[in-house]
A = this chain, B = another copy of it.
Amino acid sequence: MVAKDKNIGIGLMGLGVIGSGVAKVLLGKAEALARQAGRPLILKKVLECDLAKHGLLGIERQLFTVDFKDIVSNREIDIVIELIGGGHPAFEYTKEAILAGKCVVTANKEVMAKHGYELLNLAQEHKVDLRFEASVGGGIPLIAPFQEDLVANDISAIYGIVNGTTNYILTRMGLEGLDFLVALKQAQELGYAERDPTNDIEGLDAAYKIAILASLAFRTEVGPEAVYREGISRLEARDFRYARELGYAIKLLAIAKKSNGAIEVRVHPVFIPEDFLLAKVNGVYNAIQVEGDLVGKVIFYGQGAGPSPTSSAVIADVIAIAQRISYGISSLPKPSLGTGKTIKPISEIETRYYFRMTVADRPGVLAQISKILGDHLISISSVIQKESDPATQTAEIVIMTHPAKEKAVQEALKEMERLPVIKKINNLVRVEV
């Protein structure tokens, strides 16, 4: 891995919103980056299949290509930046680039979550770097801390607000009492949510990210399919009112933690005490709390998405590689990930629960509910029963439990659903303290 000339050649795959942002920084800060990198970083090729984008940003037209082979087989290119996004063909292109001896910098959470283990091993084998700081938390340093700054720690837990779209929606619902669909629509109008928001609101994006962080923190392979996942679409404005009344905020948390020799990895809405810093992370901001045996609790906060913050991380990765190439220093082998850590199924977890249900407004209902909960060894920590609705002759009951087993809670819920006095179980949200 020695540069073919006095420059570091860059191949950029993808000139979408993020790709354009990165290209803009590479071109606009060329001099400062060269000082940092030890040599100029020169854009040699741009892969972009949308011909309308060719020639954008003042990039010479002859640098554009629609064939990724023009990048991986280009001897002038040392570092490939993959910003195509999505699973395919980004994965294949990344793999081909590594096989061709290129270092790769990627912001692709899906590829890294699904194939990170394979790609990192492949990179090691071919003595090239694969860096992916931008894949989680935008410009917030997260990958490097796990790989370097926190390596002396035994990490016990990660609690992350890692999806800005859902955090924006939940913030609006919480602070302004908006309904989910109204908040979603506003997020879309502001460009914070995509037209098809499924990946964000159903927690898939967060699942990719926590899979990556859990793999690094626990030094084991955690694929996205191992992540239990619930989205935010079932939350209603009234859940936020009850949460506030009880002293909580509602956040979509990505959680990875050690638990009796196994690990839990899950993404779902969570009640967190409102005086916790994570509860105060509002809008599109991300924050990731990491707990280690030495360092205690550390939190990393910042913008988790957008072209500028993502460029910050992508370019830092590029510079780290470029410095190595400039000074003829070989790539540092990374301690390999283990496998075989057991991931707990969601049914085995134990936490506190909030549930909200609509019940018939008549005496003895609470007694029936308490009996079922008691039968399943679920103990109640608080109950709110609000004014009843005379029109429907129903009332709403909110119950917070002490720590209980998920399995017992699910069984109790099934039994309660069969009670004639229970009209509807409106919501169930886990509580993390």
When the two chains form their complex, are residues B324 and A309 in contact, meaning their CB atoms are under 8 A apart? no
When the two chains form their complex, are residues B148 and A316 in contact, meaning their CB atoms are under 8 A apart? yes
A371 at the interface (CB under 8 A from B): no
A197 at the interface (CB under 8 A from B): no
Which A396-426 residues have a C-beta within 8 angstroms of B?
none
A29 at the interface (CB under 8 A from B): yes
A20 at the interface (CB under 8 A from B): no
Q: Interface code A264-280, partner B: CB below 8 Å = 1, 0 otherwise?
A: 00000000000001001
Given known pairs A36-B335, A329-B330, A332-B323, the reply for A149 and B153 (CB within 8 Å) is no
When the two chains form their complex, are residues A311 and B294 in contact, meaning their CB atoms are under 8 A apart? yes
When the two chains form their complex, are residues B295 and A302 in contact, meaning their CB atoms are under 8 A apart? yes
When the two chains form their complex, are residues B25 and A294 in contact, meaning their CB atoms are under 8 A apart? yes
Which of A9-17, A44-52, A133-141, A361-369 contacts the other chain?
Answer: A133-141
When the two chains form their complex, are residues A298 and B295 in contact, meaning their CB atoms are under 8 A apart? no
When the two chains form their complex, are residues A302 and B312 in contact, meaning their CB atoms are under 8 A apart? no
When the two chains form their complex, are residues A319 and B151 in contact, meaning their CB atoms are under 8 A apart? yes
When the two chains form their complex, are residues A141 and B139 in contact, meaning their CB atoms are under 8 A apart? no
Given known pairs A144-B144, A332-B327, the reply for A298 and B152 (CB within 8 Å) is no
Contact check: which of B150, B316, B324 meets A312 at CB < 8 Å?
B150
Q: Which residues of B contact A281 (CB under 8 A)?
A: 277
Quick one: closest B residue to A323, CB to CB? B332
When the two chains form their complex, are residues B152 and A25 in contact, meaning their CB atoms are under 8 A apart? yes
Contact check: which of B29, B35, B151, B320 meets A316 at CB < 8 Å?
B151
Q: Which residues of B contact A152 (CB under 8 A)?
A: 25, 29, 33, 36, 311-312, 315-316, 319
Q: Interface code A23-47, partner B: CB below 8 Å = 1, 0 otherwise?
A: 0010001001101101000000000
Given known pairs A301-B298, A301-B299, the reply for A316 and B149 (CB within 8 Å) is yes
A89 at the interface (CB under 8 A from B): no
Q: Which of A294, A315, A327, A330 has the most CB of B within 10 A?
A: A294
Which A235-258 residues have a C-beta within 8 angstroms of B?
none
Q: Which residues of B contact A133 (CB under 8 A)?
A: 149
In the bound complex, how far is the Cα of B144 from the Cα of A150, in angstroms? Answer: 11
